[in-house]
């Protein structure tokens, strides 16, 4: 790597899936990029650990030729940067939940200072030809901090959450300053045109950025290109895994426990953006309204605990325990538990087998950047006897996956009706819908996502950058990247 015509890929994200901590992992970003990195790449970010006296130098480990460079956070950085500004201010705001935004000035300061610290640590590891790809809302200012340190590499940023129009973004304390740092990147990526357009409205109306032709924008001396690039999965690989996992021990146990009953499944992080309360409520309404489904369907909700240091997440967990207990108390019979609710993460392979057994997947977030569970579910199906995807119109995935049963996730009655429709749908309609959904999932893969983004980052090369003096970076320069996705 680092050869004349070969740029090294440096991925930066808050969460880094360290090889030393293999196991069940919930989170779309980590999953998609795990598929994308290949030997020679560097992945930089938080170790996931808190430490009273964190080292300034990153800890390095290498696995399958990929170097993982991570730093610990102090307790106060963790509270301010991660639990605070990232997950109590930015996350609810970016998911249009203004009422949940909990802002403290010290959190914002912690957010900026951790981004500075990340930049200082990363800068020492960078080669002049590296392509740097920063991910997600935790690290918005990282590019600007790298630029302040004199880094002139091509740097791209990808926002994995939705992005709101100026009316929403203006509610964020320090919105202008944060938005301004997004303009320090060469390329800024979003999952849908709606999010990209909202970003463009924000930078034009709030900062005065101007279009500069060919999709570029200019703000003072900076030129940046906002793009749409939907994330996907390794559809073929996931499909194979699901077909094998269906014959595995866990899937067999699940099937035995179901008997002749149909299975509905939900798989999410335990997050208020995922619409879990409405979904459970909807299942109760299905059983109340359509008595013929009682005893004939079980709903398995896997909701991996997430961000438990943030109040809203703890409260949601308590509320879900209550509603799950309530639904089971009301409808259970001595030999049938309607709702199976678990908060432990499940191994990816096991999940694949569960998806394949499920007649329905409920993917009903109130707002979601993309939602990879929807794509995984489609990829896992047996085309001869596929299940039905019920999908929120407010998931980024709904832009592409229009052959799902699209619902308003705020309307529990509409979700219940969709479940009834799915449970009674003819094989022919299921096959038709699945066939078309499959085409999207096989087209818009993790591999394509990476290639499209890196192609744009390459195109943003300017004549002064050190990389362009030494090599012609092109999509082919990323050939190793495409290798195993």
Name the residues annotated as catalytic.
160, 368
Rg (alpha carbons) of the chain, rounded to whole number: 23
Question: CB–CB of 43/16 below 8 Å?
Answer: yes
Query: Among 27, 39, 237, 471, which residue interacts with ligand F6P (rule: CB under 6 A)?
Result: 27
Residues within window 160-179 making contact with ligand F6P, judged by CB under 6 A: 160
Query: Among 136, 145, 186, 234, which residue interacts with ligand F6P (rule: CB under 6 A)?
Result: 136
Question: Does residue 317 touch ligand F6P according to CB under 6 A?
Answer: no
Which of helix, strand or coil describes residue 8? Answer: coil
Question: Does residue 304 touch ligand ADP according to CB under 6 A?
Answer: yes
* Residue environment code for 83-103, b if the CB has 16+ CB neighbours within 10 A, otherwise e: bbbbbbbbbbbbbbbeebebb
**Binding characters for ligand F6P, 258-297, by CB under 6 A (x = yes):** -----------x----------------------------
Query: Among 371, 392, 444, 460, which residue interacts with ligand ADP (rule: CB under 6 A)?
Result: 371
Tokens encoding 485: 């996705």
Question: CB–CB of 270/343 below 8 Å?
Answer: yes
Q: What's the DSSP call for residue 39?
A: T
| 404 interface partner picked from ligand F6P, ligand ADP, none, CB below 5 to 8 A per type | none
Question: Does residue 372 touch ligand ADP according to CB under 6 A?
Answer: yes
Question: Does residue 15 touch ligand F6P according to CB under 6 A?
Answer: yes
Which listed range, 26-34, 66-74, 194-202, 425-433, lies at the site for ligand F6P (CB under 6 A)?
26-34
Which listed range, 172-180, 212-220, 317-325, 370-378, lies at the site for ligand ADP (CB under 6 A)?
370-378
DSSP labels for 324-379?
HHHHHHHH-BTTB-SEEEE-S---HHHHHHHHHH-SEEEE--SSBS--HHHHHHHH
Cα–Cα dist 116/114, whole Å: 5
Question: Does residue 307 touch ligand F6P according to CB under 6 A?
Answer: yes
Query: Among 30, 125, 228, 425, which residue interacts with ligand F6P (rule: CB under 6 A)?
Result: 30
Shortest reach from residue 90's CB to ligand F6P, in Å? 10
Question: Does residue 454 touch ligand ADP according to CB under 6 A?
Answer: no
**Binding characters for ligand F6P, 80-109, by CB under 6 A (x = yes):** ------------------------------
In the complex with ligand F6P, the residue whose CB is nearer, 269 or 430, is 269
Query: Among 41, 192, 239, 306, which residue interacts with ligand F6P (rule: CB under 6 A)?
Result: 306
Question: Does residue 40 touch ligand F6P according to CB under 6 A?
Answer: no
Query: Among 15, 154, 191, 269, which residue interacts with ligand ADP (rule: CB under 6 A)?
Result: 269
By CB atoms closer than 10 A (0-12, 13-18, 19+), residue 453 is buried
Question: Does residue 263 touch ligand ADP according to CB under 6 A?
Answer: no
Which of helix, strand or coil describes residue 420? Answer: helix
Size of the site for ligand ADP (CB under 6 A): 20
Cα–Cα dist 475/6, whole Å: 10
Going across the sheet that includes 42-50, the strands are: 59-63, 66-73, 42-50, 9-15, 131-135, 154-158, 187-190, 222-228, 217-219, 210-211
Shortest reach from residue 56's CB to ligand F6P, in Å? 23
Q: What's the DSSP call for residue 140?
A: T
H or E stretch at 315: helix 311-331
In the complex with ligand ADP, the residue whose CB is nearer, 302 or 316, is 302
Which of helix, strand or coil describes residue 158? Answer: strand
Shortest reach from residue 141's CB to ligand F6P, in Å? 16
Give the residue ranges of DSSP H helices in 203-272: 235-245, 249-258
Question: Does residue 35 touch ligand F6P according to CB under 6 A?
Answer: no
Residue 299: φ, ψ to 5°: -110, 120
Shortest reach from residue 154's CB to ligand ADP, in Å? 26
Shortest reach from residue 376's CB to ligand ADP, in Å? 5
H or E stretch at 59: strand 59-63
| 351 interface partner picked from ligand F6P, ligand ADP, none, CB below 5 to 8 A per type | ligand ADP
Cα–Cα dist 60/67, whole Å: 7
Give the residue ranges of DSSP H helices in 162-231: 166-169, 175-182, 193-202
**Binding characters for ligand F6P, 184-213, by CB under 6 A (x = yes):** ------------------------------
The residues near 66 (Cβ < 8 Å, ≥ 6 apart) are 37, 38, 39, 40, 41, 42, 43
Query: Among 346, 401, 437, 481, which residue interacts with ligand ADP (rule: CB under 6 A)?
Result: 346
Shortest reach from residue 128's CB to ligand ADP, in Å? 33
Tokens encoding 439: 């085409």
Question: Does residue 390 touch ligand ADP according to CB under 6 A?
Answer: no
Which parts of this chain interact with ligand ADP (CB under 6 A)? Answer: 24, 26-29, 31, 267-269, 302-304, 345-346, 351, 370-373, 376
Residues near ligand F6P, by CB under 6 A? 15, 27-30, 136, 160, 269, 306-307
């Amino acid at each position: 790597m680092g050869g004349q015509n070969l740029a090294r890929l440096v991925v930066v994200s808050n969460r880094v899936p360290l090889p030393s901590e293999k196991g069940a992992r919930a989170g779309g970003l980590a999953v998609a990029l795990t598929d994308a990195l290949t030997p020679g790449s560097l992945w930089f970010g938080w170790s996931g650990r808190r430490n009273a006296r964190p080292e300034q130098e990153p800890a390095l480990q290498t696995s399958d030729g990929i170097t993982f460079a991570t730093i610990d956070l102090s307790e106060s950085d963790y509270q301010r940067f991660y639990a605070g500004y990232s997950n109590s201010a930015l996350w609810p705001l970016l998911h249009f939940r203004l009422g949940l935004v909990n802002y403290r000035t010290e959190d914002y300061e912690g957010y900026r200072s951790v981004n500075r610290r990340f930049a200082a640590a990363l800068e020492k590891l960078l080669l002049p030809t590296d392509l740097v790809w920063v991910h997600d809302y935790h690290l918005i200012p990282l590019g600007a901090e790298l630029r302040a340190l004199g880094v002139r590499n091509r740097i791209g940023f990808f926002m994995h959450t939705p992005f709101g129009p100026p009316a929403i973004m203006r509610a964020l304390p320090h919105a202008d300053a944060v938005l301004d740092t997004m303009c320090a990147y060469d390329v800024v990526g979003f999952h849908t045109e709606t999010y990209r357009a909202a970003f463009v409205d924000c930078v034009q109306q709030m900062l005065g950025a101007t279009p500069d032709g060919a999709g570029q924008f200019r703000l003072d001396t900076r030129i940046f290109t906002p793009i749409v690039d939907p994330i996907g999965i390794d559809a073929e690989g996931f499909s194979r895994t699901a077909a094998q996992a269906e014959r595995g021990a866990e899937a067999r146990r699940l099937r035995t426990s179901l008997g002749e009953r149909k299975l509905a499944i939900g798989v999410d992080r335990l997050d208020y953006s995922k619409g879990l309360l409405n979904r459970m409520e909807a299942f109760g309404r299905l059983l109340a309204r359509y008595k013929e489904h009682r005893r004939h369907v079980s709903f398995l909700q896997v909701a991996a605990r997430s961000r438990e240091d943030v109040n809203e997440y703890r409260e949601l967990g308590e509320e879900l325990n209550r509603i799950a207990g309530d639904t089971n108390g009301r409808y259970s019979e001595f030999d049938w538990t309607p709702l199976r609710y678990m908060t432990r993460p499940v191994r990816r392979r096991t999940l694949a087998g569960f998806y394949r057994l499920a007649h329905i997947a409920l993917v009903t977030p109130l707002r979601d950047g993309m939602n990879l569970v929807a794509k995984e579910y489609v990829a896992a199906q047996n085309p001869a006897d596929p299940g039905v995807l019920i999908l929120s119109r407010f998931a980024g995935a709904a832009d592409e996956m229009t052959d799902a049963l699209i619902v308003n996730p705020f309307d529990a009655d509409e979700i219940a009706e969709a479940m009834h429709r799915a449970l009674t749908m003819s094989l022919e309609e299921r096959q038709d819908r699945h066939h078309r959904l499959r085409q999207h999932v096989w087209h818009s893969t993790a591999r394509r996502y990476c290639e499209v983004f890196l192609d744009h980052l390459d195109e943003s090369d300017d004549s002064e950058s050190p990389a362009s003096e030494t090599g012609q970076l092109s999509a082919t320069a990323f050939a190793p990247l495409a290798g195993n996705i």
